[in-house]
A and B are shown apart, each in its own frame.
Chain A
Amino acid sequence: VSRAVITGAGVVSAFGVGLEPFLDGLARGATAVGPIRSFDASAFPVRVAGEVPVAEVGPAWVSAHLPGHDGAVARWGAAGCFRDRKVAFALLAAAEAWRAAGCGPGERAAGLSVAFGIEHTLFDDLALLFDGRDVDWARGADAPLPPVRIRTPFDLGARVLLAHLALEGPVAVHASACAGGALAVAHAAALVERGAAPLVLCGASDSMLEPFGFGGFCRLGALSPRSEPDACRPFDRRRDGLAIGEGAAMFVVEDEARARARGARPLAAVLGWGSSQDGHRLTAPRPDGAAALRAMEAALRRARVAPEAIGYVNAHGTGTPLNDVAEARALRALLGPAAARVPVSSIKGAVGHLMAASGAIELAACLLPLGRDLLPGTAHHRERDPECDLLVVGEAPAPARPEAVLSNSFGFGGQNAAVVLGRCG
Chain B
Amino acid sequence: MTAPRRTPGSAAIVGAAAASAYGLRWRGLGAALRDAALAFAPSAQLGATHPGTLASEVPPARAGEDPTDPKARKLMSRAAHLAAMALSRALADAGISSGREAVGYFLGLGASGGPIEELHAILRACAAGGRLDLGRFARDGLPATSPLLAFHLLNNLVLCHGAIAEGVGGPNAAFHSRGSGTFLALEEALWALDDGACERAVAGGADSALHLGTYVELLQGGAIAEGLVPGEGAALLALSRAAERPLGWLDRCAVRRGPDLRAAADAVWDAVDPGAPDWLVLAPWGPPARETLRGVARARLPGAAVVDASAGLGDALAAAPALACAAALDLVSAGGGRALVLGAGLDGAAGAAILSSGGRG
Binding site for B on A (CB under 8 A): 1-2, 39-45, 116, 118-119, 123-124, 126-128, 130, 132-135, 137-138, 140-141, 143, 147, 149-151, 153-155, 168-177, 180, 183, 187, 190, 192-198, 211-212, 215-221, 255, 257-258, 261, 274-283, 291, 294, 298, 411-415
**Pair B138/A219 contact, Cβ less than 8 Å:** no
B313 CB contacts on chain A under 8 angstroms:
none
Q: Which chain B residues have a beta carbon within 8 Å of chain A's beta carbons?
A: 1-6, 49-50, 72, 75, 100-101, 105, 109-112, 116, 119-120, 122-124, 127-128, 130-132, 134-135, 137-139, 141-143, 145-151, 153-157, 159-161, 163-164, 166-176, 178, 180-181, 184, 188, 191, 197, 212-213, 216-217, 219-220, 255-257, 347, 349
B9 to chain A, nearest CB (A): 13
Contact present for A141 and B112 (CB under 8 Å): no
Closest-by-CB residue of A relative to B144 is A219
A276 lies within 8 A of B50 (CB): no
Instruction: Write the nearest CB–CB distance from A45 to chain B, whole angstroms.
Output: 8
Counting from the closest, the 6 A-B pairs by CB-CB distance are: A413-B160, A2-B3, A43-B138, A195-B5, A195-B3, A198-B2
Contact between B172 and A415 (Cβ–Cβ < 8 Å)?
Answer: yes
A154: min CB distance to chain B, Å: 5
Quick one: closest A residue to B101, CB to CB? Answer: A279
> Which residue from B145, B157, B170 sits with its C-beta under 8 Å from A219?
B145
Please report the C-alpha to C-alpha distance between residue A415 and residue B149 in the assembled complex, in whole angstroms: 19
Chain B contacts of A130 at CB under 8 A? 123, 127, 130
**Cβ contact within 8 Å between A168 and B257:** yes
Q: How far is the CA of A381 from the CA of B44 in the complex (A)?
A: 53
Query: Hey, which chain A residues are within 8 Å of B139, CB to CB?
Result: 43
Q: Which residue of B lies closest to A155 (CB)?
A: B176
Known: A150-B216, A155-B347, A175-B174. A277 touches B168 (CB 8 A): yes
Determine the residue in chain A with the shortest Cβ distance to B259.
A168
Nearest Cβ distance between residue B221 and chain A, in whole angstroms? Answer: 9
Asked if B163 contacts A194 (CB within 8 A), the reply is no
Contact B173 A282 (CB under 8 A): no
Question: B138 is contacted by which of A127, A149, A215, A217 (Cβ under 8 Å)?
Answer: A215
Residue among B3, B120, B174, B349 with the most chain A CB within 10 A?
B3
Q: Contact: A278 with B164, CB < 8 Å?
A: yes
* Nearest Cβ on chain A to B165's Cβ, whole angstroms: 9
Contacts of A212 in B (CB 8 A): 122
- Which residues of A sit under 8 angstroms from B5, Cβ to Cβ? 194-196
Residues in chain A near residue B171, CB distance under 8 A: 274-276, 298
Q: Which residues of A contact B137 (CB under 8 A)?
A: 43, 123, 211, 215
Contact of B149 with A169 in the complex, beta carbons under 8 Å:
no
Q: How far is the CA of A41 from the CA of B137 in the complex (A)?
A: 10
Give the CA-CA distance A150 to B219 in the complex, in Å. 12
**Smallest CB–CB gap between A138 and chain B, Å?**
6
